[in-house]
Amino acid sequence: MDRSGLLIILSSPSGAGKSTLARRLMEWDPTLRFSVSATTRKPRPGEVEGDHYYFREPGEFRAMVAAGNMLEHAEVFGNLYGTPREPVEEAMRAGRDTLFDVDWQGGQQIRASALGNHVISIFVLPPSLAELERRLISRGQDAPEVIAGRMQKSRDEISHWAEYDYVIVNEDIDQSAEALKTILTAERLRRARQTGLGPFVRGLMEEEGR
């Protein structure tokens, strides 16, 4: 059955499990396309154009923004980052879903874009702030002051939970992954998204009349 592709926004504070859930979702359905961002920062060793990022000069990036060719964009530590519109539209036309790992600000911009009707947004919450801090510490990647900064930012991010269509409290990663699959399955089955449903039903009715 033909259908239009979805734009799946997945957001959470750092340490809530968003990256693991995104990986689980893509393992479950390899047809999912992970959104590739454009950036003005220089490539790091091993990074491949079009795979990790689309690397653009600042002038080219700003021209894309001015022309409406970015679904969302932001400046982070002096570099510009954003989501090019064309690859997402191509995936949509092909009936493929695109997964976005963006914060609440990026999510707002995508929902406000011309493709907003194709968006489903999911926010992942930790079971508690104490557990979130424990997870950040257990990574062993950040100094205490960095973790404190992440915790402060997490409070701001969590305050935007009500802007999302769905909210998952990630207490158990397996249960959360199943909930995410259920959401995606249900959204794909919405009547309005199944573009081939009309011709299919007409075929059924013609068959009945024979």
Residue 15 phi, psi (nearest 5):
100, -5
Asked whether the predicted pLDDT for residue 208 surpasses 70, the reply is: no
Q: Which residues are annotated as a binding site for ATP?
A: 12-19
At residue 196, the pLDDT reads: 87
Asked whether the predicted pLDDT for residue 25 surpasses 80, the reply is: yes
Number of domains in the chain: 1
Q: Is residue 22 part of a domain?
A: yes
Q: Is residue 85 part of a domain?
A: yes
CA–CA separation, 193 vs 197, rounded Å? 9
DSSP 29: -
Angle ∠(80,168,106) on CA atoms, nearest 5: 15
Q: Is residue 82 part of a domain?
A: yes
pLDDT, averaged across the chain: 92
CATH number at residue 26: 3.40.50.300
Q: Is residue 2 part of a domain?
A: no
144 vs 60, higher pLDDT: 60
Q: Which residues are annotated as a binding site?
A: 12-19
Angle ∠(38,40,44) on CA atoms, nearest 5: 90
At residue 1, the pLDDT reads: 65
Q: Is residue 169 part of a domain?
A: yes
Alpha helices in the chain (DSSP H): 18-28, 58-66, 85-93, 104-111, 129-139, 144-158, 173-188, 197-208
Is the pTM above the cut of 0.75? yes
Residue 105: helix, strand or coil by DSSP? helix
CA–CA separation, 54 vs 133, rounded Å? 33
Q: Is residue 206 part of a domain?
A: no
At residue 210, the pLDDT reads: 57
Residue 21 domain boundaries: 7-196
Q: How many CA atoms lie within 13 A of 97 on its CB side?
A: 24
At residue 170, the pLDDT reads: 96
Q: Is residue 1 part of a domain?
A: no
pLDDT tens digit string along 42-94? Answer: 998 999 998 889 999 999 999 999 999 999 999 987 899 999 999 999 999 99
The mean pLDDT value for 155-184 works out to 96
Q: Is residue 136 part of a domain?
A: yes
At residue 195, the pLDDT reads: 87
What helix, strand, coil percent values describe the chain, rounded to 5? 50, 20, 35
